[in-house]
Structure 1
Amino acid sequence: MQTHFSPLTLAYNRLMANSFKSFTGASILGMADAADLDDAALAQALFHAPQAIVSHGTETDPVFCYANEQALMLWEIDWEAFTRLPSRLSAESASDIQSDRDTLLKAALARGWVDDYAGVRISSTGRRFHIRNTTLWNVVDSLGVHHGQAAFIRDWRFL
């Protein structure tokens, strides 16, 4: 069984889709409404989406808990390695870059979401890329319990 389609990941995909819709007013799938799909169909649609989608949990040093196929290719890493990676390691370690990233995460946490984010990230092989037109949002359940933060990356270019 592929872990990116496990029951836990299927449930997390639903939380991501519902939270995205709640904060942005838009469907994470574009024209299709995620609410119309069962969990397995939603997981397939998100995993094979042309945009990169990633999410980390709520740990003190958050660790990625989700990446779709496009994100795994972009970060040049497999699911098992990506879902053990602290999300801060997806950006270069320079203090100003980490500070900008931390500011963005805090803004999204306070507001619920941030749109049109851009920044430089680094793949597992050290390849740098610039992400643009990115939405960052909080992943919350129907009771408002915070489960993590996710990013919907619409555009990128390698540096």
Structure 2
Amino acid sequence: MNETHARRLLNSYKHWTGKELIPIDSKLPLLEQLEESAVVILSHGTEPDPILNYGNAKALSLWEMSKEQFTKTPSRLTAEPMEREQRAEFFRNVTSNGYVDNYTGIRISATGRRFYIKAATVWNVLDEQGQYCGQAAAFRTIVRIES
């Protein structure tokens, strides 16, 4: 990921929600601030089976992957399959509203550990011309599921 993508994540989040994703220090590179954030932040591109293109340090740790492994992973493989209608409704809401707030779902790490993400925001990422270029998610609350 580069500073352009970092700016797109931040600007798109603000565009859809009216809020700042994280507090920004203008003296530090955006990418560094996203990387070190206490908020889990990840995104994927626009491929037919979207591939993750960014995960900050918290995301990589949570999914127990290296950056190289993470950015080769289809985003659908980080989650348990949703029921078809639930999944369809979720994507209709993101598409029509530009974002969905307060999303909760079960995710799976590379080693098979299951966890809930709670109160996540999922939003459409826009480029500098306002064109759709992927989706991103951010959340703070994680509940581990014991096997």
TM-score w.r.t. structure 1 length?
0.84
In percent, how many aligned pairs have the same letter?
Answer: 41
Cα distance in structure 2, aligned partners of 1:125 and 1:101? 24
Following superposition, the deviation at residue 62 of structure 1 comes to 0.4
Following superposition, the deviation at residue 99 of structure 1 comes to 5.2
Asked whether the 8 Å contact 2:42–2:59 carries over to 1, the reply is: yes
Residues 79 and 103 (structure 1 numbering): CA distance in 2 closer, same or farther, change over 3 Å? farther
Give 1 or 2: higher helix fraction. Answer: 1
Cα distance in structure 2, aligned partners of 1:99 and 1:58? 22
- 7, 25, 34: which one aligns with 1:14: 7
Listed as ranges, the matches of 1:1-159 within 5 Å are: 4=1, 9-29=2-22, 32=23, 34=24, 37=26, 41-93=29-81, 96=83, 100-159=86-145
SS in 2 for 1:85: coil
1:20-51 per-position Cα deviation (integer Å, ceiling 9, x unaligned): 0111111111xx3x4x637x611111111111
Residues 82 and 24 (structure 1 numbering): CA distance in 2 closer, same or farther, change over 3 Å? same
Following superposition, the deviation at residue 110 of structure 1 comes to 2.1
Cα distance in structure 2, aligned partners of 1:86 and 1:115? 22
1:69-121 per-position Cα deviation (integer Å, ceiling 9, x unaligned): 0000000001000000000001124x52x653453233212210110000000
Residues 49 and 139 (structure 1 numbering): CA distance in 2 closer, same or farther, change over 3 Å? same
Cα distance in structure 2, aligned partners of 1:133 and 1:148? 20
Cα distance in structure 2, aligned partners of 1:78 and 1:63? 15
Which amino acid is 2:114 matched to?
Answer: R
Cα distance in structure 2, aligned partners of 1:148 and 1:68? 16
**Which consecutive residues of structure 1, in runs of 5 or more, have no partner in the other structure?**
none
What is the number of equivalent residue pairs in this alignment?
145
Following superposition, the deviation at residue 157 of structure 1 comes to 1.0
**Which consecutive residues of structure 2, in runs of 5 or more, have no partner in the other structure?**
none
